[in-house]
């Protein structure tokens, strides 16, 4: 089988040929159909991600495929079941072995590309807005990086939760994607004084920020008293340094959200959130946006789309 492997930090990963793996106790083997790419993949290649698995390793945090073999002690999911897995690694390969407990059976209507990019993006936004920020109907939600993989799901979920959604993204094309996901107000981050625009709109109650940098600081100064600011990531490359006096005088709360961390200390929170999201999908209330599906041989080009911020929604690598 072929796999996209990282041998050492800050060295280019390569496609290698490996033996077909056999599942161990508690594992299943999957014929992988698709793998969703994430900004964390780029950080892992650069050796900058908060989790650093031993090298060499096969990249790819989340994937979807079909169960082809069961390891000792495994009863379900049965062979032939279509599943998605948040694995942390191993997704960019034609086959792989993963814990059966992490396999999420898919609705019949969900395609493999949709499923491969569903868990992290939708899970992050739902956990951030519902579990952490407690977004309420009628509140104003600002989403920075609103056309990206997680930002677009925040627009969609925020709207489903009854918020007024302000989407901030660069350029008319990306803003149109955010509008199609339900955004009420559109702001071009490349041409606008963000702080002034937000204040003219009356300020915001919740900020969802996967970008960091200057836009976070502008949003901070336009957040209403008792507002909540979610730090999701720093795709812009700059980690904001937050002046604590602003938090004090406006009674603001800055909330961190690392979705994958819940697998280690409160996995039931992830399970309940994903059950809710899959229910919404089955009801037709969520419509995943996959802008690019590319073959494994073009995985480097697919990663470049993320690095250069040229994609909208999810970028998925197909093994089929």
pLDDT in tens, 106-156: 999 999 999 999 999 999 999 999 999 999 999 999 999 999 999 999 999
Residue 264 confidence class, pLDDT cut points 50, 70, 90: confident
Using an 8 Å Cβ cutoff, are 16 and 2 in contact? Answer: yes
- H or E stretch covering 169: strand 164-169
Closest by Cα among 276, 282, 271, 250 to 102: 271
Chain segment 1-49, per-residue pLDDT in tens: 999 999 987 789 999 999 999 999 999 999 999 999 998 999 899 888 8
Do 139 and 222 lie in a common domain? yes
Coil, strand or helix: which one is 31? strand
What is the C-alpha to C-alpha distance for residues 19 and 116, in angstroms, rounded to an integer? 23
Per-residue pLDDT, 267: 87
Do 77 and 147 lie in a common domain? no
**Percentage above 70 pLDDT, the chain:** 100
Do 255 and 128 lie in a common domain? yes
Number of domains in the chain: 2
- Is residue 190 in a domain? yes
Chain segment 49-83, per-residue pLDDT in tens: 888 889 999 999 999 999 999 999 999 999 999 99
Do 107 and 142 lie in a common domain? no
Sequence-ordered list of residues with C-beta below 8 angstroms from that of 121, at least 6 positions apart, any chain? 36, 149, 150, 152, 153, 288, 314
Q: How far is CA 92 from the centre of its chain?
A: 16
- Is residue 281 in a domain? no
Coil, strand or helix: which one is 50? coil
Per-residue pLDDT, 50: 80
Structure tokens belonging to residue 95: 């086959």
CATH number at residue 68: 3.90.180.10
What is the C-alpha to C-alpha distance for residues 96 and 87, in angstroms, rounded to an integer? 10
- Is residue 60 in a domain? yes
Chain segment 190-237, per-residue pLDDT in tens: 877 999 999 999 999 999 999 999 999 999 999 999 999 999 988 877
Using an 8 Å Cβ cutoff, are 184 and 210 in contact? Answer: no
Do 128 and 113 lie in a common domain? no
Do 100 and 136 lie in a common domain? no
- Is residue 274 in a domain? no
- Domain boundary among the residues 241, 260, 279 is at 260
CATH number at residue 221: 3.40.50.720
Residue for token pair 């994430």: 38
Do 98 and 128 lie in a common domain? no
Do 226 and 148 lie in a common domain? yes
Structural domain that includes position 41: 2-118+288-318
Do 201 and 216 lie in a common domain? yes
Structure tokens belonging to residue 113: 């590309």
- Is residue 282 in a domain? no
pTM value? Answer: 0.91
Closest by Cα among 230, 256, 236 to 309: 236
- Is residue 280 in a domain? no
- Domain boundary among the residues 213, 242, 260 is at 260
| DSSP letters for 85-103 | EE-SS--SBSEEEEEGGGE
Question: Measured between alpha carbons, how far is residue 283 from residues 279, 280, 289, 292 in Å?
Answer: 6, 5, 17, 25
Do 87 and 142 lie in a common domain? no
What is the C-alpha to C-alpha distance for residues 169 and 311, in angstroms, rounded to an integer? 12
- DSSP letter at 200 equals H
- Is residue 68 in a domain? yes
- Domain boundary among the residues 260, 275, 296 is at 260
What is the C-alpha to C-alpha distance for residues 302 and 284, in angstroms, rounded to an integer? 28
- DSSP letter at 226 equals E
Residue 17 β-bridge partners: 2
Do 128 and 255 lie in a common domain? yes
Structure tokens belonging to residue 212: 């960091």
**C-alpha angle 165/287/125, rounded to 5°?**
50
**C-alpha angle 300/113/124, rounded to 5°?**
85
Sequence-ordered list of residues with C-beta below 8 angstroms from that of 226, at least 6 positions apart, any chain? 205, 250, 251, 252, 253
Do 110 and 156 lie in a common domain? no
Using an 8 Å Cβ cutoff, are 102 and 279 in contact? Answer: no
- Is residue 217 in a domain? yes
What is the C-alpha to C-alpha distance for residues 182 and 30, in angstroms, rounded to an integer? 35
């Amino acid at each position: 089988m072929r796999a996209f492997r990282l041998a050492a930090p800050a060295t280019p990963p390569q496609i290698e040929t490996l033996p077909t793996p056999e599942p161990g106790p508690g594992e299943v083997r999957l014929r992988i159909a698709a793998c969703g790419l994430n900004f964390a993949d780029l950080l892992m290649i650069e050796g900058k991600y908060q989790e650093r698995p031993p090298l060499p390793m096969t990249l790819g945090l989340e994937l979807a495929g079909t169960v082809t073999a069961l390891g000792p002690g495994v009863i379900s999911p049965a062979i032939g079941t279509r599943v998605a897995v948040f694995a942390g690694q191993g997704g960019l390969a034609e086959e792989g072995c993963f814990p059966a407990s992490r396999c999420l059976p898919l609705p019949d209507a969900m395609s493999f590309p949709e499923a491969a990019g569903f868990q992290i993006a939708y899970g992050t936004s739902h956990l951030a807005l519902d579990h952490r920020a407690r977004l309420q109907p009628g509140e104003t939600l600002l989403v920075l990086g609103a056309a990206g993989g997680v930002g677009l799901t925040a627009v969609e979920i925020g709207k489903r939760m009854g918020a007024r959604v302000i989407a901030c993204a660069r350029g008319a094309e990306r803003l149109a994607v955010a509008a199609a996901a339900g955004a009420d107000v559109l702001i071009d981050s490349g041409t606008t004084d963000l702080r002034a625009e937000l204040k003219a709109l009356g300020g915001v109650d919740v900020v969802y920020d996967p970008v960091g940098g200057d836009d976070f600081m502008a949003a901070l100064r336009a957040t209403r008293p008792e507002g909540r600011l979610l730090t999701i990531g720093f795709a812009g490359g700059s980690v904001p340094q937050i002046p604590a006096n602003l938090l004090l005088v406006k009674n603001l709360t800055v909330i961190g959200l690392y979705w994958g961390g819940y697998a280690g200390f409160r996995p039931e929170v992830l399970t309940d959130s994903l059950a809710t999201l899959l229910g919404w999908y089955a009801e037709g209330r969520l419509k995943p946006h996959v802008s690019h599906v590319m073959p494994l041989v073009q995985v480097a080009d697919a990663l470049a789309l993320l690095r250069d911020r040229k994609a909208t929604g999810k970028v998925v690598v197909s093994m089929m």
